[in-house]
Structure 1
């Protein structure tokens, strides 16, 4: 369900998405509000689920993850029980940083990080191929990153 957002809400969202470390005073000044009304608006955006959290964008390479892979996975059957077992097993793998059910020839896409190709090969053989119900796995490696992580969402200008 889409939230009913006015111009000030959108301005606050753009500002927070660009820099979530803004103080409430800085944010209020940018939105031309006093601090209390600004805080109430941000709190409402949080309560309504428009703001899902505040995160630090980490550099995977600086943390030693030189490989970024998009892994397409097809599973045998998609019953509720088998899908739940697969989902739980995937969510338990720390190297899987994104996980989505998708349409098309594969059932799921996993975004995976690894130290290097040897580490990815080990992860593939020891974990990914052994996931419950896996029928096939196809890996696509990122060769060049143009827009990292999820990037910013396009917040409309009201």
Structure 2
């Protein structure tokens, strides 16, 4: 990726609905080479797709919880079972494999504290092999960006 590709990616991260004409103007390219670069970025996997960014509170899911999970045993079977279960749970927006005293960090969104309790009891507690859970509730969002640096 060169600097022009980075400008294209940044412009599309800021507004994924830019027409090729507007994008080419924003990055100082003519439309054909701009479109060719976008297609190359898509083919190479740099651009994986396009999506609407939805306000979770306006959507009805105002509660964000960061859930730290520690597994009992780190066998491949336990890890695979946990990660497969996470993939099937819609309330889990992100899951990161962590270094340190916790194995995973999950970002969970729900409508209320009662819904979070239900989520823990009915969804998380059913996953075998979990040793401990630690929940941290977000009071608000200071910064959230979809635009990568550089």
Q: Structure 2-normalised TM-score?
A: 0.94
C-alpha contact (below 8 Å) 1:89/1:132 kept by paired residues: no
Q: For 1:27 and 1:120, how far apart are their aligned partners in 2?
A: 42
1:82 to 78, 81, 85: 78
C-alpha contact (below 8 Å) 1:101/1:107 kept by paired residues: yes
Q: For 2:6 and 2:147, how far apart are their aligned partners in 1?
A: 13
Deviation at 1:128, TM superposition (A): 1.2
Q: For 1:128 and 1:42, how far apart are their aligned partners in 2?
A: 40
Q: CA RMSD in A?
A: 1.2
Q: How many residues align?
A: 150
Stretches of 4+ moved more than 2 A in 1? none
Say yes or no: does 1:53 pair with 2:49: yes
Identify, as 1 or 2, the structure richer in helix: 2
Q: For 2:26 and 2:56, how far apart are their aligned partners in 1?
A: 32
Deviation at 1:129, TM superposition (A): 2.0
Say yes or no: does 1:115 pair with 2:114: no
C-alpha contact (below 8 Å) 1:69/1:139 kept by paired residues: yes
Q: For 2:14 and 2:58, how far apart are their aligned partners in 1?
A: 21
Q: Structure 1-normalised TM-score?
A: 0.90
Q: For 2:127 and 2:69, how far apart are their aligned partners in 1?
A: 10
Deviation at 1:113, TM superposition (A): 0.6
Question: Structure 2: which 5+ residue stretches go unaligned?
Answer: none
Q: For 1:125 and 1:53, how far apart are their aligned partners in 2?
A: 34
Say yes or no: does 1:152 pair with 2:147: yes
Q: For 1:78 and 1:40, how far apart are their aligned partners in 2?
A: 45
Question: Structure 1: which 5+ residue stretches go unaligned?
Answer: none
